[in-house]
A and B are shown apart, each in its own frame.
Chain A
Amino acid sequence: MILFPTLAEPQYFSLFEKLLFAALALTSAAAFWSRFGLVLDKILKSKQDPGFRLFPIGKRIREFVWEVLCQAKVIRERPLPGLAHAFVFWAFCAFALVTLNHCATIFGFGFLSPSGSIGRLYDYFAAAFAIVCSVSIFALFVRRFFIRPQWLGTKLSWESGVIALLIFVLMTSYLASFCVADASPSARILWWSHSLALLTFLPLIPHTKHLHLLLSPATVFLSRGSFAQIPPLAGDEDFGLVAGTDLTRLVSLQAYSCVECGRCTEHCPASNTGKLLNPKEIILGLRGYLNEYGPASAEPLLGKYNSQQAVFQCTTCGACEFQCPVGIEHLPILIGLSRGAVNTGTWEDQHGSRLFLALERGSNALGISPTERDRFIEKNALPLFDGTQEYCLWLGCMGAYDPKGREIVLALVRVMSYLGTSYGVLRKEKCTGDAARRLGNDLLFQQLAEANLQTMAENKVKKIVSICPHCVRTIQEDWHEYGTPPAVEHHSEFLARFVSQLPRTIDSGFSPDIESEGCGGFNPRIKPTAPEAALAPEAEQTTSTLRPEKIVYHDPCYLGRYRNVYDQPRAIVSLAGELVEAPRNRERSFCCGAGGGLVFLGEETGERISHNRVHELIATGAQTIAAACPFCNTMFRDALAATGDAAPELLDIAQLVARTLPQGGVS
């Protein structure tokens, strides 16, 4: 094989060739537009997104550069295939000028002369990409058709095969042009091969998932602006995503941008445990709906293409939206669909109704009398918030009524007392409305948010600290729709600021005479009976010969992905022992299964999400599981009970800190 220093081009094109090319190009463009124009039309005919702000534009540009141009998320979340894809994409970008020049040469308008210095350098540059791209596309082809990873789906996509072949032909025909003489018949053949591949590829783009080539840069750029953002309802007739007429431009754009990569499904707790819900199918279902009915249709969205049952299996954990490399925002869509069902009363679920009625009638999601909360406050002599203290300690439904939630609160109270923090609890709280909000009951949510905002204003609350990431999220982001909430933070963020003042369990030694916080029956740290007390003096030495206790930290969805708080809880855990990471951690943390209001609904089908996660946590070999959310805590407690006596201990980070405190003043 000879290698020529320059790219071979046909030097002369006959009139027939020029006319043929023009005709083919026009046909190709027409075929392209017939489909692309239609898709664009459907997107533009969808209704406007209420509350969408293009500015500030800096963030959008940064994200575009990072995620589209640098392919950051594509590579980071699936490194090898991601890198292969990135090479293909960068090759496309590099080839932009080559392609233009290629089509221009037949009409005599070629601007990249292969023999000129600029042209030659550019040709080499493009050739380098062509080599990398050919290898990459071949590898991706093998992956899809021979290795067949689970998340790409069971059906083989022939269109993917055709596209891969065309890309391969485009690259190799270009590279082969370095192996033939300039103006030779081979050069002409290669030129035409490349052209035919190009003109076949073009109309295929809008007819396949390769539409993302054109749409996804726009989709990433036009994101809603923040993670899991629920758009406001627009006007009296808007109840969420009920029918085609409710689909907005962003939803339609996102539906058409899906590349069917399956990353969303791969990380979905429901999909991983045998549920009907598959985030990819939700998006593709909307695409199918738009293809068949269009955005002006009154046909229900939950019908032929998507099911209500699947929608209400969503824990709103956000793994799908986080993973999506083309900027699809699944959560506003899923919550939009549940809103559509709940706001119109078409969701009939006995547990759901009971939850809503409990919230309608009373003050909390558990349906317990508020006098129980009063008793809890009185019995533990918690200070009432009177406007003079620095912090308002928000108990929340779990902190006020759930036995384990109460233990977490009392542990935090011990720590706050130790730190000398000035705080108080409100006389009356209503549920923040998280479950109502995620399940889509906007009427109930509005009532709860407004009532709470009023309480906050009346009591002059400036800063809130809460043990529950759901409360934190709802207060900070969702209450915004109805007023201005006070500043709120999670107790991990609060405690992390005082890490230097909190005792560190040196060598993380096991101190048997520290009284337990009343944790479950399998707590080895219960105050020792007489025989063990004899051991106490030796064990009191801080330079213990015992190995540090391993504590595996579970990132709650609403603290991690929703709030980007990963390091603060880890700093707290490190005070109490040796921090161990779960395989699926930080942004990839696997949901406990409670979110989206699902903890209040009936039993799950398939494997329990909490059990799946607990097995993973136990497998790390840690002696303790550290939680930072009372819902995660309750889900894991249930799953651990099913595991048996050898189960690790389960503690909230507040409890981990509280037990390192010097004794005395135990509540």
Chain B
Amino acid sequence: MKIVVAIKQVPERDAQVRIDAAGKWIEETEYALNEPDAYALEEALQLREQHGGEVVVLSAGPERVGTTLRETLAKGADRAIHVACDDLGARDALGVARLLAAAIKPEAPDLVLTGLQSEDLGLGQTGVIVAELLGLPHATLILHVEKTETGFTVKRELEEGWFQTIELPTPALLTIQSGGNKLRYATLMGIKRAKTKEVRSVTSAELAVNAAPVVLLEWVTLPRKQKSTQMLPGTAKEAAVALVEKLNVEARVL
């Protein structure tokens, strides 16, 4: 079974985020593997352990993406494809999905996995658009995948503790929710083996896709932090009444 896992390199959770001079994107900071994608990779590796086959990791971005690709190889992926692209910030979800779909198509995988959403933009769209571009049936928020005779049976997370079971044919695309599996740690043996695994680079020009964004990002800004403290006087009962009123009318959280 051939599985392609599309991953994204995102700013580290606790990295300092600074807006660039143009106000349209962020400055270079520290990066790490997007956590939902780590779960997608884990799902792929477990499926390969059960059913054999190949796990191919794919990511679009600048040169530094290579480090994260090597990490996924160290965790057990068989080979990687790097779509070299320096202007990810200027592309919208459709633009990125076009790149990824163009890179995936020649691979003709049985299954494509992506993380549910990215930790930086959190759009949750890229996987879905890729499925559409490739003409693949898809399902999102997946916690568990099982291979069947005809395709896959998957467990999908809904709200309030409800789950949905879906059957899909193969090939298909799934976006994976965090927490479905226990992640594995990177090992020394993994990283040594990763040195010999293939990382194939393909430029966005070679893929010859239409890059024009349909969604324009106008500006990026940091949220303003403000704090205001009000002391509520009176007895506990009086203060409680006043508090409820404020939460309802001023803060509008009730």
Contact = CB atoms under 8 A, between A and B. Distances in A.
Contact of B187 (A342, A357, A371): A342
Interface string A359-384: 01111000001110000000000000
Contacts of A357: 183, 185
A444 B32 contact: no
Q: How large is the interface on B (under 10, 10 to 19, 20 to 34, 35 or more residues)?
A: 10 to 19
Contacts of A236: 192
Contact of A345 (B14, B182, B184): B184
B82 to A, nearest CB: 21
B188 A442 contact: yes
Contact of B14 (A350, A353, A369): A369
B183 A345 contact: no
Contact of A239 (B12, B183, B184, B189): B189
Nearest to A235: B192
A343 B13 contact: no
Contact of A444 (B182, B184, B186, B192): B186
A363 B189 CA distance: 23
| Residue of B13, B182, B187 contacting most chain A CB atoms (<10 Å) | B187
Contacts of B190: 345, 443
B189 A369 contact: no
A443 B32 contact: no
A370 B14 contact: yes
Given A362-B13, A362-B14, A369-B13, A353 B182 contact: yes
Interface of B: 12-14, 32, 74, 182-192
A300 to B, nearest CB: 14
A356 interface: yes
Contacts of B184: 345, 353
A352 B182 CA distance: 11
A443 B182 contact: no
B14 A443 contact: no
Given A361-B13, A443-B191, A356 B185 contact: yes
B186 A360 contact: yes
Contacts of A352: 185
Contacts of B14: 362-363, 369-371
A169 B17 CA distance: 83
A344 B189 contact: yes
Given A345-B190, A443-B186, 7 more contacts: A344-B189, A345-B185, A353-B183, A370-B14, A371-B14, A441-B185, A444-B186
B34 to A, nearest CB: 11
Contacts, number: 51
A443 B188 contact: yes
A443 to B, nearest CB: 4
A343 B192 CA distance: 10
29 contacts: A236-B192, A239-B188, A342-B187, A343-B187, A343-B188, A343-B189, A345-B187, A345-B189, A345-B190, A353-B183, A353-B185, A357-B183, A357-B185, A360-B186, A361-B12, A361-B32, A362-B13, A362-B14, A369-B13, A369-B14, A370-B14, A441-B185, A441-B187, A443-B187, A443-B188, A443-B190, A443-B191, A444-B185, A444-B186
Nearest to B190: A345
Q: How large is the interface on A (under 10, 10 to 19, 20 to 34, 35 or more residues)?
A: 20 to 34
Nearest to B14: A370
A164 B3 CA distance: 68
A442 B186 CA distance: 10
A360 B188 CA distance: 13
A343 B186 CA distance: 9
A405 B189 CA distance: 35
A350 B183 CA distance: 9
Nearest to A236: B192
A335 B14 CA distance: 32
Contacts of A370: 14
Contact of A344 (B12, B74, B187): B187
Contacts of B12: 361
Nearest to B71: A360
A353 B184 CA distance: 6
Given A369-B13, A369-B14, A370-B14, A360 B187 contact: no
A357 B185 CA distance: 6
Contacts of B74: 443
Contacts of B186: 356, 360, 443-444
Contacts of B13: 361-362, 369
B24 to A, nearest CB: 26
B95 to A, nearest CB: 29
A69 to B, nearest CB: 42
Interface string A242-278: 0000000000000000000000000000000000000
A360 B13 CA distance: 12
A362 B190 CA distance: 20
Nearest to A355: B185
| Residue of B32, B182, B188, B191 contacting most chain A CB atoms (<10 Å) | B188
Contacts of A343: 187-189
Shortest 3 CB-CB distances between A and B: which pairs?
A356-B185, A343-B188, A443-B188
Interface in A39-88: none
Nearest to A345: B187
A237 B188 CA distance: 10
Contacts of B185: 345, 352-353, 356-357, 360, 441, 444
A370 B13 CA distance: 10
A360 B35 CA distance: 12
A348 to B, nearest CB: 8
| Residue of A343, A352, A443 contacting most chain B CB atoms (<10 Å) | A443
A342 B191 CA distance: 13
B171 to A, nearest CB: 29
A360 B38 CA distance: 12
A356 B183 CA distance: 10
Nearest to B15: A370
Contacts of B182: 350, 353
Contacts of B187: 342-345, 441, 443
Interface in A426-446: 441-444
Contacts of A363: 14
A263 B46 CA distance: 45
Contacts of B183: 353, 357
A364 B190 CA distance: 23
A361 B189 CA distance: 19
Interface in A78-126: none
Contacts of A233: 188
A343 to B, nearest CB: 4
A344 B192 CA distance: 10
